[in-house]
Amino acid sequence: MIPVKFSRAIAIALLAATTALTTHTFAQAQELVLGVIGNSKDQVQPYTPTSSASAGSLYNQLYDGLTAYDSKGAVVMELAESMTPNATLDVWTVKLRPNVKRHDGKPFTADDVIASIKHMMDPANNFVVSSQIDFVDPVKIRKVDDLTMEFTLKRPFGLFANAFADEDFRIRAISDDGSVTGTGPFKLDTFTPGQEARLSRFDDYWGEKPGFDKLRIIGFRDQQAVTNALRGGQIDVAYSVPYTDVPALTKDPKLKTVVSGTTTYPIISVRVDMPPFNDQKVLEALKLVVDRQQIVDNAFGGFGAIANDYLGNNTACPIPSEPQRVQDIAKAKQLLAEAGKSNLKLELVTDGAFAGMMEMAQLYAQQAAQAGISIKVRRLDPATFLNRWREWPFLISLTSGPYETAALAALLPGQGENATHFDDAEYNDLAKKLQSTGDLAEQCKLVTQLQAIEYKRSGDIVAAYPENITVYRDTVSGLKPDLYGRTAILFGGVTVKK
């Protein structure tokens, strides 16, 4: 008898305790809380080899680039005021924006730029993406005055402003005490890698200032945790959400959505230098089995457009005139039979690190099965996957960045990201021309030609161009669509009302 009363008392006490612990919102007025997937390898200084959403979100607030891509994909000046080449495109004069202040109160000068670029290009610093600016000769950057520099390049290079617009090449500065500082819209208060960064608005910022005082970037373990935190009101903005979560999130009247483009998306890649993929017929068959609309609808929840086996939906240039590939199982079977590979058995590996990867892999395996290709999907942990990067014959890889940098890093021989081992004489030739022209119309013509070659011969099966979805609470206003998926981290003019 006594025990029964006991348990009832406990039940009541527990109930009372639960009610007392009402949802605790730790966001305060004028503070915006951003949720991203945290990466414990993040550092405050921007020249780290790792790129992660959490690091990108932080760097975007602390640092500026010489140039940048605007939200419609055009290259605009940031810390630089102008970039002028000589006639042969091998000497560039860079003038800096005047009156830019650093977070430590000092003026931003050419010395900061030169020191930053030297640091980036020193091999000892492991800044792997520096190969994208390997046309720069770090010892031949001459300081003309505090706001002017002259770059004498190793070879003529026309895409100078584009190359520095890549987010990896933001410029940092070093304070007198040796700490790293920046010029961006926010100053850093505290930082715990992968978990949290607290920032305050930098009131001397040269550009459009954010409409709130404090920013907190919280790093979560995975996408689902970010989504849950948004639903629970712990964060105001989710950097991105899984496609399958969008229907549930849009049901909540307090949540709003911005659909943006993105340059970061998964693709299926094969090594074109080894059998069976070095056979053009097999490669063509693998591209013909794809039901692209199904991948857009079922792997990306309908948020995206079908793709045509070339990278770069986000160039400002006309698309190549090649016909859209559509699923053709009969043709694929016929090609495989002609190649003598009717019963292909393949293993498709992925680390599933990016939304849509596992989904795309499974759908593709299912579609390929219709043509008699048996594909086993295998999910690996990231280190295991990276350990044999460029060795996997058949994988889900990731492309990231604007066409000029991403495609060339993935498709030119000897580049770190060339997982397909693509080495095409015509492509290499056109790529070289693209890099050494300063004429925009000419650049566009070359990009279109390059994409046409990818469509025909590259080892990348690009099934869909997914979109980036940012979901935020209705207390936030001013977030804008962005071609590069940066909606959640561009805070110029953004306000918070709580």
Which neighbouring-strand residues pair with 35?
Answer: 218, 238
Give 205 or 364: the residue with its C-beta nearer to other proteins.
364
Give 185 or 301: the residue with its C-beta nearer to other proteins.
301
Give 280 or 384: the residue with its C-beta nearer to other proteins.
384
Q: How far is the CB of 292 from other proteins (least distance, A)?
A: 13
Q: How far apart are CA 204 and CA 486, in angstroms?
A: 23
Pairing of strands 173-174, 148-152: unpaired
Q: Helix axis angle, 425-435 relative to 440-457, nearest 10°?
A: 160
Q: How far apart are CA 195 and CA 41, in angstroms?
A: 11
Q: How far apart are CA 210 and CA 466, in angstroms?
A: 29
Cβ burial, residue 472 (10 Å; 0-12/13-18/19+) = buried
Backbone region of residue 401 per phi and psi (left: phi > 0; alpha: psi in -120 to 50; beta: other values): left
What count of residues does the chain have? 498
C-beta separation of 496 from 267 below 8 A: no
CA of 225: how far to CAs of 36, 181, 228, 422, in Å? 9, 31, 5, 38
Q: How far is the CB of 414 from other proteins (least distance, A)?
A: 8
Q: How far is the CB of 195 from other proteins (least distance, A)?
A: 5
Give 225 or 329: the residue with its C-beta nearer to other proteins.
225
Q: How far is the CB of 396 from other proteins (least distance, A)?
A: 12
Give 399 or 435: the residue with its C-beta nearer to other proteins.
399
Tokens of 405: 């940098």
C-beta separation of 389 from 419 below 8 A: yes
Give 186 or 220: the residue with its C-beta nearer to other proteins.
220
Q: How far is the CB of 417 from other proteins (least distance, A)?
A: 5
Give 78 or 245: the residue with its C-beta nearer to other proteins.
245
Radius of gyration of the chain (CA): 25
Query: What DSSP line would sit under 177-223, residue for residue?
Result: TS-EE--SSEEEEEEETTTEEEEEE-TT-SSPPBSSSEEEEEEESSH
Give 19 or 88: the residue with its C-beta nearer to other proteins.
19
Strand ranges, E, within 86-160: 91-96, 141-145, 148-152
Q: How far is the CB of 81 from other proteins (least distance, A)?
A: 30
Give 19 or 321: the residue with its C-beta nearer to other proteins.
19
Q: How far is the CB of 154 from other proteins (least distance, A)?
A: 18
Give 49 or 492: the residue with its C-beta nearer to other proteins.
49
Angle at 121 between CA 116 and CA 122, to 5 degrees: 100
Q: How far apart are CA 446 and CA 452, in angstroms?
A: 10
Q: How far apart are CA 338 and CA 294, in angstroms?
A: 27
Cβ burial, residue 219 (10 Å; 0-12/13-18/19+) = buried
Which letter does DSSP use for residue 138 in this model? G
Give 183 or 470: the residue with its C-beta nearer to other proteins.
470
Q: How far is the CB of 301 from other proteins (least distance, A)?
A: 6
Whether residue 276 has a cis bond before it, omega within 30° of 0: yes
Give 9 or 144: the residue with its C-beta nearer to other proteins.
9
Q: How far is the CB of 326 from other proteins (least distance, A)?
A: 17
| DSSP-derived 3-state class of residue 22 | coil
Residue that is written with structure tokens 């579609």 in the block: 367
